[in-house]
Structure 1
Amino acid sequence: MRTKTRQDDLAGRRAFVWEEPPAPTLADLSSGPEGRRRFARYWIRDTLRDLSVLTSHHALRPLPAAVASALGAFSFAQSGRFYPGRSRRMRANAARLRPDLDADAVVRAGWANRGRLMSEFSVLPRLDTPETLVVEGADHLLEARRRGPVIVLAMHLGNWELLLPVFRRLAVPVATFYMPPESRAEHRIACRVRETFGGTLLPPGVKGVRPALKRLARPDGVVVIFGDEGWDGRIMAPFFGRPTHLAGNLAIAVRLARHSGATIVPTYVERTAGTRFTCRWLDPIVLGPVDDAGAALPADVERLNAVIEPIVRRHLDQWFFLDHRL
């Protein structure tokens, strides 16, 4: 269950609170039409949907990673025709943000990358090899961590789930904010896979702020937050020329950094070909001293947006939120 205002003005949005929806009981069946609908959605509709998710996940697990990934790409390439609204938004966004590219090709690549991403959950440990996953610029993270706590500003590009194997390879304990999927089965799978790599999952929304601050209070604490985001079908960040707002993760990252004195280190995982990836660590961002952190917040947020926006534009065909509204 996600609770957040649905105002069209992003600047007016409040921080959301996520809570695991309780399982309906037999009492809901006798509580009226809404209770019966809730019972049917949870125990019948969602269970049947999750059955297909679990079947697919366990069927892919024994396959070679490249085969599982390719099957996902093929499957989602076909799925695109069944979601014409999403495809239209992807095409319109691609035409607006990268008019130099073939929008139809971006849409096809976007669906394929989404399919690979979903299927690769089943084989993620086998993607963590020096040949499959190359790491560039890790010294940016390691040197910043030697100086104090770090906020990693990540992006939903390529297969960002490979960040946790990278942290394990670098022997860096990490806590990460995450957004639970709507499917209970997908949620369980995602948590299990992420915890396999030793990552600590922070509660999404405002509930994750306190444990994040506790982690950043350590001299070498590391917290991951994703700077790009979509909500209720709308792109919240990057801004792409729209007015700056302070309702999203970019503002949270700045506030956490100001409060803890953490260095911000941007990173992303690019899919270079099939099941080959490069994790790139960028130059650290140190927020200088200011007299009024609140007054400096919009400029700080713009500074972070200026880092992630060109990267997202450059890799639109691998960006998870391309099907959201601008």
Structure 2
Amino acid sequence: MGGDLPDDPCAAGRRFPGVKEKIARIFLRFLESVPLPALASFCEWVMLLVHFVDRKHRRIARINLGIAFPEMGDAEADRIIRACYRQMGTSAAEFVHIPKMDAAYIREHFRIEGVEYTRESLEGRNQPAMVMTGHFGNWELLSHVYGKVIAPAAFIVRPLKSGILDRIVTERRECAGNTVIRKADSAKEVTKVLRKRILVGILIDQNVDRHKGILADFFTRKAYTTFGIARLALAMNAAIHPGFIFRDPARKFHHVLRFGPPLQIDPGAPRDEEVARVTRRCNEELEKAIREAPDQWMWFHRRWKTRPVGEPEIYEGLQ
């Protein structure tokens, strides 16, 4: 794995259209100069302060943990929630340092398992392929490492509200030669990319409206889940591989990228039934990863927000 890498691919195309962006970039360069362990410690401390004052998201996380693990005690739930905030700080520091994560750094800090599955789909069978994942571990590094030492990939994102922040974050996301696909343009662009046999990463773990998904089992309660990845797979005869990044609990800055074999898809089955079945399988793979390392998933999202007509609101008062 690997190849020739530009000295600083994240610097390509940087622009300074205004004073605010200049200040933001100067501050970012300062953060980049802080050693990763020190920056991570600071970011973790900040996020633990946020944990202390952020009552709303603590409540959402407790509700979610109660749905996923009804047998879990309060002490364990509180431990997981604190660990989630702490990991957000560590992940933010790592994201700042992405330009420094070259092939040598990756070889030392990352282990990659199962990449032969995606290669077999893309190269062995010459088949379009997607990776289903979630907001799990430091998911930003999943795409960065894949693009840096395996092959450039593409992934779908929702643009950030701040144009300045969105440009800066996009530069980092595209450091390794990856392509960011805006959610609003995703259908047409994803189709183009898949036809080029470029791996596409899709996050499937967020709540969707009724018309954008189907009810599928997720832990102890059904959750509206995007059917987009299943529809794409059937329309393009594309493979869907589970792919997650796990942080090593014993070594903070070490990670394991784990890819699985393609989900079984039956193109001859009734379309709606197969879309529903594949969507359920995606949730099963996500749930399996979360059960393995529950403190590495983002419990702060209102995952079970959309309910069938007539069902009571789960997150009442937490809009």
Which TM-score band applies after superposition, normalised by the shorter structure?
0.7 to 0.9
**Gaps spanning 5+ residues in structure 2: where?**
1-17, 210-214, 305-319
Distance 1:54 1:105, change over 3 A: farther
Q: 2:77 aligns with which of 93, 103, 108?
A: 103
Distance 1:52 1:84, change over 3 A: farther
- Deviation (angstroms), 1:73: 1.1
- 1:299 is matched with 277
Partner deviation per Cα, 1:173-227 (whole Å, 9 max, x = no partner): 211101223333331221010111111111214x211111112123x33211112
1:190-229 equivalent positions in 2, closer than 5 A: 190-205=169-184, 207-218=185-196, 220-229=197-206
- 1:144 is matched with 121
1:153 partnered with 2:132: yes
1:263 partnered with 2:234: no
1:166 partnered with 2:145: yes
1:65-76 equivalent positions in 2, closer than 5 A: 65-76=36-47
Q: Is the 1:54–1:185 contact (alpha carbons within 8 Å) kept by the matching residues of 2? A: no
Give, in whole Å, the separation in 2 of the partners of 1:145 and 1:134: 21
- CA-based RMSD of the aligned residues comes to 2.7
1:12-51 equivalent positions in 2, closer than 5 A: none
- Deviation (angstroms), 1:58: 3.2
1:231-310 equivalent positions in 2, closer than 5 A: 239-243=218-222, 245=224, 248=226, 251-272=227-248, 273-310=251-288
Q: Please, which moves more after superposition, 166-175 or 81-90?
A: 166-175
**Gaps spanning 5+ residues in structure 1: where?**
1-42
Provide the secondary structure at the position in 1 that maps to 2:240: strand
- 2:50 is matched with 79
Q: Is the 1:227–1:237 contact (alpha carbons within 8 Å) kept by the matching residues of 2? A: no
One-letter amino acid matched to 2:58: S
Distance 1:182 1:231, change over 3 A: farther
Distance 1:116 1:183, change over 3 A: farther
Provide the secondary structure at the position in 2 that maps to 1:157: coil
Give, in whole Å, the separation in 2 of the partners of 1:89 and 1:244: 15
One-letter amino acid matched to 1:115: G
- Deviation (angstroms), 1:104: 0.9
One-letter amino acid matched to 1:278: V
Distance 1:223 1:323, change over 3 A: closer
1:88 partnered with 2:59: yes
One-letter amino acid matched to 1:318: Q
- Deviation (angstroms), 1:291: 4.2
1:117 partnered with 2:91: yes
- 2:212 is matched with none
Give, in whole Å, the separation in 1 of the partners of 2:86 and 2:27: 17
Give, in whole Å, the separation in 1 of the partners of 2:188 and 2:48: 41
Moved over 4 A (4+): 50-56
- TM score, norm. by length of structure 2: 0.76
Q: Please, which moves more after superposition, 171-180 or 187-196?
A: 171-180
Q: Is the 1:229–1:237 contact (alpha carbons within 8 Å) kept by the matching residues of 2? A: no
- Deviation (angstroms), 1:83: 0.9
Give, in whole Å, the separation in 1 of the partners of 2:291 and 2:27: 32
Q: Is the 1:91–1:106 contact (alpha carbons within 8 Å) kept by the matching residues of 2? A: no
Q: 1:64 aligns with which of 21, 26, 35?
A: 35
- Deviation (angstroms), 1:305: 1.3
Q: Is the 2:216–2:223 contact (alpha carbons within 8 Å) kept by the matching residues of 1? A: no
